[in-house]
Structure 1
């Protein structure tokens, strides 16, 4: 009876190490597959039909690889193996002003090149879990995550704490002057 309990305990322990936190990963392979499947042609109906055929096969394989391998690697190492493939890639992104910006993925953040040629860097600092913006050699912290999981944002020269929910986002937008205003007659 003791041998069976020992075998069960060893299997459970090994399984806990192998499959730990596989559900909180970024599912990088699955997301890349879905992005490809949604953009493989310019016709959304063709994409949907091909998706119906491929998702049961390819989607299952991608999900299984994510759960068993990639998300476990991400949990234990702290890095997503699929995210490394984006380093150095540049995408054209339309800004709120209707102009296109070149956004290049860096190892620790992003480089954004405006249509005017001005370059802005958004840099993540792993040591204090913060994001900073750098323009013309001047770096300014935008926000950081605190030990409670909230953010400490630098808005209009003041550092304020916000919760990561709709209320916190609303409060930050109102303080920054990015709220919705209604006109009355």
Structure 2
């Protein structure tokens, strides 16, 4: 009986204080699913498989009960290494993702290979940023003008560098 009370108390303290957080493990699992295939049906099949096999629910549980609880108490997410904790940010900071001069940003996907982001700045200026995926490269456009081409490897390296 004593062990049961200790386990329940420990579980309750963790669950009641740390569920809100970055959900980094779950996000990375979803990101992996998006990288495995370009086909929307393939992605859906993998998504369902991960849920039916219990992989996604376990990742979410680890995020909710473990990682986010640590983020809540320490102010830094141990999985992503990012701070401040989500619970310490204002709603405006979450909406703008730390970008101060942007009033609104809308992202839309045109098929499987094109993503467009319409940015409206606080001063009213508007801008369209586009990325088009080709075989192993991505072309980036600003207001219809090509501003750069990068390889998938360069994007992965850049992403990993930003995480550290």
TM-score by length of 1: 0.42
Q: RCO higher in 1 or 2 (8 Å CA, sep ≥ 6)?
A: 2
Question: Higher helix proportion, which one?
Answer: 2
TM-score by length of 2: 0.46
Rg (Cα) greater in structure: 1
